Structure 1
Amino acid sequence: MPEPRTFRDHPVSFVRRSGRMSEGQERAWAELSPTYFFDVPRAVASTSVHPDARFVPADEFGRDGRFVVEIGSGQGHAIIHAASTHPDTDFLAVEVFRAGLARTMLDADAAGVRNLRLVEANAPEVLEVLLPEGAADEVWIFFSDPWHKKKHTKRRMIRPGFGATAGRALRDGGLLRLATDWEDYARQMRDVLDAAPEFERAFDGDWAERFDGRIMTAFERKGIEKGRDIRDLVYRRVARG
């Protein structure tokens, strides 16, 4: 019998670096993960998703409401703000760095947010496997790693084929919102999604207006301070055939 694989078929858009969580983050993980954290069954790697794993929003939140997924939630500033200001909507934060997830749980608890869950997993596998097809009303991808060196661009999340990945998770008419401060990556995103049969533009002109539901984070402010333009895109999931 062949040995089971221990590696992925495609490069991921992140590199997990070792790092210790602070005592406060360790405590948050222990105390708050039963409330916020969805423990993903694994497949071939520590951030993979087992083919049988499912996150069913109605089961997790106890209601059928609007459902928004943020890919690469970092320390959670954007999604906590969104969840606290839209209590009628349920949110899922997808991140691979435990310190960021712990920080998100701490701040969500302090804000009294309960319409939020967190998963530690490779984002494309969340969209392809973990979520039921058509589960999400919106998917947000703000400032994903641009992997700006030419030899590393194959690691970019938004590359040919991503339209099918994101399109599977979105309901018909659902929105895919993106933002980046890296012009070359913004153009790649636009080219990839313009060519994706699952999507159509939901903006006029070259770029979308800034999404007013995205708060200004330190990350975005840093890009502006360095003189980089912030570019938004928004695409609508076309009706399935």
Structure 2
Amino acid sequence: MTSTAPDLSRFRTQPVSFVRRSGRLTDKQQRAWDARGAAYLVDVPRAVARTSVAPGFVLDPVLEFGREAPLVVEIGSGLGEAVVAAAAADPGRDHLAVEVYEPGLAQTVLRAEKAGRERGTEGLPNLRLVQANAAELLEGAVPEGAVDELWVFFPDPWHKSRHHKRRLVTPSFARLAARVLRPGGHWRLATDWAAYAEQMLEVAEECDAFRNAHGSGAAAPRFEGRVLTSFEKKGGLAGRSITDLEFVRA
């Protein structure tokens, strides 16, 4: 019996927005990861790389969360500060955190377990984690129109001009965002790099699938659903101002 190998001719033909890093977990992170990581981590079949998504894989939010509920997806969830706070504050919504770095995912599990104890529950049942390249995940694995809100908070600015090609928010990413968001769904972004904010604004406003929730060329007020993270604090201490943007799926 023979099987047809997946077509990988288009696999990562564009630069990814991250570089592969190895990082050791702290003892506390390792214990949380070993004990409860499986309760949160979505099992994603791989194509080639450790953070790749095999062609044909489709995420079933109802199966993963055990219910039908509005879905929030955060791209680049980092240490989990924003997504854990949001999931704990809004149990009526499901939250999917997408991150490539294992220490960040382990820290997210650690935070979720603490938030659960504070609420008197075993962890946060409305939180799931995916270790994957976001573009691959949004291209086919997340069902079309399944997402209520897509969050991209403080992506790597790749501030050197020769690295701008690695920035996450590009016209191709805007099309992926439009694909997964339901009509009327919200795409929220934030950055502490002014030049990147201008690029984000231009990219989203040039995509016919979106309209600026606050008028053409306008930034958004600070999103109340985003807690002040350690990363944002560092940007403020460095003297960089924060720009929030909000777009609605037309």
TM-score calculated relative to the size of structure 2: 0.91
Structure 1 position 84, deviation (Å): 0.4
1:107 maps to 2:111: yes
Q: Are the equivalent residues in 1 in contact too, given 2:84–2:111 (CA < 8 A)?
A: yes
Which residue of 2 is the match for residue 88 of structure 1? 92
- The farther-off stretch of 217-226 and 86-95 is 217-226
Structure 1 position 5, deviation (Å): 6.0
1:143 pairs with one of 147, 154, 157: 154
Which residue of 2 is the match for residue 223 of structure 1? 235
Q: What residue identity is the alignment partner of 1:147? A: W
Structure 1 position 23, deviation (Å): 2.3
CA distance in 2, matches of 1:4, 1:136: 27
Q: Are the equivalent residues in 2 in contact too, given 1:182–1:228 (CA < 8 A)?
A: yes
CA distance in 2, matches of 1:207, 1:4: 39
SS of the aligned residue for 1:40 comes to coil
1:26 maps to 2:30: yes
Which residue of 2 is the match for residue 75 of structure 1? 79
Structure 1 runs (4+) greater than 4 angstroms displaced: 2-7
Which residue of 1 is the match for residue 248 of structure 2? 236
Runs (5+) with no aligned partner, structure 2:
117-123
1:40 pairs with one of 39, 44, 58: 44
1:174 maps to 2:185: yes
TM-score calculated relative to the size of structure 1: 0.94
Q: Are the equivalent residues in 2 in contact too, given 1:163–1:197 (CA < 8 A)?
A: no
CA distance in 2, matches of 1:130, 1:29: 24
Which residue of 2 is the match for residue 153 of structure 1? 164
Residues 23-66 of structure 1 show CA distances to partners (whole Å, capped at 9, x for unaligned) of 22222222112210112111121111111212111111111111
Which residue of 2 is the match for residue 118 of structure 1? 129
SS of the aligned residue for 1:79 comes to helix
CA distance in 1, matches of 2:43, 2:148: 23
Q: Are the equivalent residues in 1 in contact too, given 2:191–2:244 (CA < 8 A)?
A: yes
CA distance in 2, matches of 1:5, 1:60: 30
- The farther-off stretch of 38-47 and 69-78 is 38-47
Q: Are the equivalent residues in 2 in contact too, given 1:92–1:118 (CA < 8 A)?
A: yes
CA distance in 1, matches of 2:103, 2:38: 16
1:65 maps to 2:77: no
CA distance in 2, matches of 1:7, 1:52: 13
CA distance in 1, matches of 2:146, 2:10: 29
CA distance in 2, matches of 1:182, 1:12: 19
Aligned CA-pair RMSD:
1.8
